[in-house]
Chain A
Amino acid sequence: MPSGVQMTAEDIARETIVVDGVGKTYGGGTHALTALTDVSFTVREGEFATLVGPSGCGKSTLLQILAGLVPASSGLVAIDGRMVTGPSPDKIGVMFQDAWLLPWKTAAENVEFPLVLRKVKPAERRKRALPLLELVGLASFADRYPDELSGGMRQRVAIARCLVQEPRVLLMDEPFAALDEQTRTRMGNELLQIWEKSGGTVVFVTHGLTEAIYLADTVFVMGTRPGRIIERIAVPLSRPRSIDMIGSESFGRLRNHIWHLIAEVRT
């Protein structure tokens, strides 16, 4: 159970992602805004975890803290046994709701961008980028520019980009939220395929209950005002997932349960 559980050094070493008593407050004094309070959970290696909750529950903030982009006001975060103090793109890959592809670079060049930052040589960069573009099915679009790609394709380039440094942990902040429903479903399946092929631990933030359950091994339900973890739910569905699981009874029960949890908190 989330709060109040004491973490030991062994816990930190065992789990891949450890979040202990994390809080985030913006501003100070009377104008202080508490986005997160006493958030604690762990994620095992190779696990696919989703964070689901209503808007404003701080799930994006939590992800930014995990990614090292934003410091926590209290508590600690450890990934792969080390405390998170800043971005570490070779260990942690991050994806956002917007792909933020650089418009003057081709798809391949965008995938190579993290390697350019580390001053990797061009030939080596190409060698690492192209297989990833193949993995996301965009090998023939390698030399296209972002304005020639659809929203779904741009997100796929973003996936390839965050995999290029071979991180073991992937953090994704509602990456498919801006896409239409069909593309979203398709991208979800593709993501599962990529994940099953390359392994790794994933934390996936979403506000869609169906998506949260469908993709995950574990669902963390978040409440709002202040943001915190309400419940941790293990998803009993087998892998590989298929679309017709969504219509099954157990799926429906799970969905209703989470829905009620969130609705209660909102009132």
Chain B
Amino acid sequence: MTRTRRRLIQFAALAALLSLWEAAFRLGLLSPIIFGSPSLIVRAVTQDGWTFAHAFRITVFEIAKAVLIAWTAGILFGAVAASLPALARVSAPILSALIAVPLVVLYPVLIAWLGLGPSSKVVFGVVSGIFPIALNTMIGVQGIDRGYAQMAAAMGANPRQIMFQVMAPLALPAIVSGLRLGTALIVIGVVLSEMLGSTDGIGFWISYHRALFNTGQVYLGILLALLVAGLANAALSLVERFYVRQAANLSVP
């Protein structure tokens, strides 16, 4: 089956689904409050489109800031911890113990400290996503065969060259998988924190319209949030594809 044919079938399936959804709404088969309809979403766009567009931008900025901080700090910590065996041995059990904690309980603390503005969202996003990034980086760097470093030293590489030209590319697949998981958690964290308490952003408007039972707007917000998550995932896939050669070739010892 060619790609275009597959795309057409997927498109047709989507169109069918949307029609069924709308039909169920108009025929009163499903509760309109709970399930909404495509037409309600369209109406929401005409009524509050600009507000949501602005909120979308704010949420994306918050996510972008959190991603920047979490990626940098996470990779840095992971790389450093991997090169210092004592630090690695100490941080590994602590990091894995912390995954049991529902991070959402930290959010009220952040609201109290940083208020309801974007900064509490960014910090919460960072906290949500940084652990898998640090852990995966650490494991990725530790898992590199020592022979590569020895070979590079024999070829005359200095420590900086060994780190950047040999170790970093070798650790990349593990790091990228950590980034994938971490970024997904950052997106969820930011949107969730907006839903719980905020002044603006997609999550804020979802909660706002929930209180007013504006199902159309709620679903519009949900769709936009899914869109953000999808975009983040797609961006990461792009990064991954850029290095896919590395991933494929790493079967060779």
B234 CB–A CB distance under 8 Å: no
Interface residue? A234 (CB, 8 A): no
Which of A97-105, A133-141, A219-227 binds B? A97-105
Q: Are A117 and B154 in contact (CB under 8 A)?
A: no
Interchain CB contact under 8 A, A69 and B252: no
- Taking a contact as CB atoms under 8 Å apart, the answer to whether B153 and A69 are in contact is yes
Minimum Cβ distance to chain A for residue B155 (Å): 4
B93 at the A/B interface (Cβ < 8 Å)? no
Contacts of A89 in B (CB 8 A): 154-156
Flag if A117 contacts B157 (CB, 8 Å).
yes
A55 within 8 A of B: no
**A67 contacts across to B, CB distance below 8 A:** 154
B93 CB to nearest chain A CB (Å): 26
Question: Taking A69-B150, A100-B148, A104-B245 as contacts, is the C-beta distance between A118 and B252 under 8 angstroms?
Answer: no
Q: With a CB–CB cut-off of 8 A, which chain B residues contact A96?
A: 147, 150-151, 154
Q: Are A100 and B151 in contact (CB under 8 A)?
A: yes
A116 to B161, CA, bound (A): 10
Q: How many A residues are at the interface, by size bracket?
A: 20 to 34
A161 within 8 A of B: yes
A153-170 at interface with B (beta carbon < 8 Å): 154, 161-162, 165
Residue in A90, A147, A161 whose CB lies within 8 Å of B249? A147
Task: Tell me the smallest distance from the CB of A240 to a CB of chain B, in Å.
Answer: 29
| Residue interface mask A83-103, B partner, CB < 8 A = 1 | 000011110001010101111
Q: Establish whether residues A103 and B250, one from each chain, have CB atoms under 8 Å apart when the complex forms.
A: yes
Cβ A100 vs Cβ B157 within 8 A: no
A114 at interface by CB-CB < 8 Å? yes
- Counting chain A CB atoms within 10 Å of each CB, the highest count among B155, B157, B161, B251 belongs to B155
Residues of B within 8 A of A98 (CB): 147, 253
Main secondary structure of the interface of B (DSSP, over half): helix
| Distance of A50 from chain B, by nearest CB (Å) | 19
Closest chain A residue, CB of each to CB of B161 = A117
Q: Is the CB of B153 within 8 A of A87?
A: yes
Name B154-188 residues within 8 Å CB distance of A: 154-158, 161, 165-166, 169-170
Q: Which residues of A contact B155 (CB under 8 A)?
A: 87, 89, 94, 113-114, 117, 161-162
Q: State whether the Cβ of B248 lies closer than 8 Å to any Cβ in chain A.
A: yes
The answer to whether B249 and A146 touch across the interface, beta carbons within 8 angstroms, is yes
Bound-complex Cα distance A141 to B165 (A): 23
Verify if A195 is at the interface (C-beta below 8 Å from B). no
B245 to A: closest C-beta gap in Å: 6
**In the complex, A154 Cα to B251 Cα: how many Å?**
14
Q: Is A145 an interface residue (CB 8 A)?
A: yes
Whether the pair B248, A147 counts as a contact (CB closer than 8 A) is yes
Residues of B contacting A161 with CB < 8 Å? Answer: 155
Q: Which single member of A102, A114, A146 contacts B166 (CB below 8 Å)?
A: A102
Tell which of B150, B152, B252 touches A103, judged by Cβ atoms closer than 8 Å: B252
Residue of B170, B249, B253 near A145 (CB, 8 A) is B249
Q: How far is the CA of A154 from the CA of B248 in the complex (A)?
A: 17
The 6 lowest CB-CB distance pairs between A and B, nearest first, are: A103-B249, A89-B156, A100-B151, A94-B154, A114-B155, A146-B252
Give 18 CB contacts A-B under 8 Å.
Answer: A69-B153, A87-B155, A94-B155, A96-B147, A96-B150, A103-B170, A103-B246, A103-B250, A103-B251, A104-B169, A113-B155, A116-B165, A117-B157, A117-B165, A118-B156, A145-B245, A145-B249, A147-B252
Residues in chain B within 8 A of chain A (CB atoms)? 145, 147-148, 150-158, 161, 165-166, 169-170, 245-246, 248-253
Apart from A100-B145, A102-B169, 19 more pairs, CB < 8 Å: A69-B150, A69-B153, A94-B154, A96-B151, A96-B154, A98-B147, A98-B253, A100-B147, A100-B148, A102-B166, A104-B169, A117-B156, A117-B158, A117-B165, A118-B156, A145-B245, A145-B249, A147-B249, A161-B155
